């Protein structure tokens, strides 16, 4: 029996790699790692709430359940921020207000790549259009928010390691996922200048000479970003209002260089 257990443990180690730490010999170690992840999320929420944490209110159980279930397995910085700030946004005096549960579930469905790319894209939107008072619920505004993000900006912000090969494959995975969840507008294009001239021109008339991404904001994408910034109770049309600002996530550098394509006339059909 001991030999079989040892052999099984070796299978876990070989198959899972470092993830095998969740299935160590001691269940206490398993719990300890998950508790550490949850602790990071709760500290993030505490930092966002500041003194407001002493005011009346509670987090609905469904939101807590989602964070304990999936958040306890997430170890990346952006996931800590998103879960933590949704948790902070969800503290309420209205017991039935469990809107945050939708976004905890959504964050749980997104891979680390998809989550980080969502942040990067909406940080670019905010840097370009913050203070413009654009109303994201108007379809015309969504078109006018069409933006080109250079590949160099994306690569820097995604912070790939040397072991993460084929970034185009990762970007495709992330973008198809964001599109599936309606976190970006359905009209988007990524790749070489030739690809963007072929596909992007149909969207905006793009004629640039850089590799990159053409993309626009969606209401659902803005709503997730607001929750991820701890401002989930705000109406989504306030996202680009001059009266609000959102601090960046530390450690995720989004370089300048993106450009608005909203002044490019729509290609004729």
* Domain locations in the chain as residue ranges: 2-109, 112-260
Average pLDDT estimate for 67-87: 84
Nearest to 76 by CA among 122, 43, 116, 104: 116
Integer Cα distance of 95 and 82 in angstroms: 22
The number of beta carbons lying within 10 Å of the beta carbon of residue 68 is 15
Contact 216, 185 (CB under 8 A): yes
Integer Cα distance of 237 and 137 in angstroms: 7
**Dihedral sign, Cα of residue 13, residue 16, residue 19, residue 22:** negative
Contact 116, 158 (CB under 8 A): yes
pLDDT-based confidence at residue 262 (cuts at 50, 70, 90) = low
DSSP 58: B
Nearest to 41 by CA among 74, 89, 69: 74
Average pLDDT estimate for 119-133: 92
The number of beta carbons lying within 10 Å of the beta carbon of residue 149 is 25
Helix or strand (DSSP H, E) at 217: none
Burial classification of residue 129, based on how many CB atoms lie within 10 Å of its CB (0-12 exposed, 13-18 middle, 19 or more buried): buried
Q: How far is CA 56 from CA 53, 91, 97, 99, 215, in A?
A: 8, 9, 15, 18, 41
pLDDT-based confidence at residue 118 (cuts at 50, 70, 90) = very high
Buried b (16+ CB within 10 A) or exposed e, 209-231: eebbbbbbbbbbbbbbbbbbbbb
Residues pairing with 191 in the sheet: 212
Nearest to 77 by CA among 117, 31, 46, 112: 112
Reduce the DSSP state of residue 189 to 3 states and report it: strand
As a whole number, the mean pLDDT across the chain is 80
Average pLDDT estimate for 144-160: 90
Integer Cα distance of 66 and 184 in angstroms: 24
Whole-number pLDDT of residue 55 = 73
- pLDDT of residue 11 exceeding 70: no
Nearest to 116 by CA among 256, 248, 244, 246: 248
- pLDDT of residue 266 exceeding 50: no
Average pLDDT estimate for 25-53: 71
Contact 87, 100 (CB under 8 A): yes
Can you read off the two tokens belonging to residue 107?
């964050």
- pLDDT of residue 78 exceeding 80: yes
Q: What is the pLDDT of residues 163-206, one digit of tens each?
A: 777 788 999 999 999 999 999 998 899 998 888 887 766 666 77
Average pLDDT estimate for 60-87: 83
DSSP 92: B
Integer Cα distance of 110 and 262 in angstroms: 29
Whole-number pLDDT of residue 177 = 97
């Amino acid at each position: 029996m001991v030999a079989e257990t040892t052999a099984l443990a070796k299978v876990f180690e070989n198959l899972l790699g470092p993830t095998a730490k969740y299935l160590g010999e001691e269940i206490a170690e398993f719990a300890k790692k998950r508790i550490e992840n949850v602790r990071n999320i709760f500290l993030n929420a505490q930092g966002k709430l500041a003194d407001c944490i002493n005011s009346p209110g509670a987090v609905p159980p469904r939101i807590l359940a989602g964070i304990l279930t999936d958040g306890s397995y997430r170890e990346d910085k952006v996931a800590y921020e998103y879960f933590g700030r949704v948790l902070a946004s969800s503290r309420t005096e209205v017991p039935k207000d469990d809107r945050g549960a939708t976004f905890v579930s959504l964050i749980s469905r997104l891979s680390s790549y998809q989550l980080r790319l969502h942040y990067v894209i909406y940080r670019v939107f905010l840097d370009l259009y913050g203070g413009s008072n654009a109303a994201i619920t108007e379809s015309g505004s969504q078109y006018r928010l069409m933006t080109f993000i250079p590949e160099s900006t994306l690569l820097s912000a995604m912070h790939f390691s040397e072991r993460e090969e084929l970034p185009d494959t990762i970007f495709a995975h992330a973008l198809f996922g964001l599109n599936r969840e309606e976190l970006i507008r359905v009209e988007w294009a990524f790749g070489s200048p030739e690809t963007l001239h072929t596909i992007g021109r149909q969207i905006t008339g793009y004629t640039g000479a850089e590799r990159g991404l053409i993309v626009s904001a969606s209401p659902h994408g803005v709503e997730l970003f607001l929750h991820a910034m701890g401002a989930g109770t705000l109406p989504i049309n306030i996202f680009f209002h001059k009266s609000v600002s959102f601090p960046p996530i530390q450690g995720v550098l989004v370089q300048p260089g993106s450009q608005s394509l909203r002044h490019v006339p729509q290609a004729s059909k």
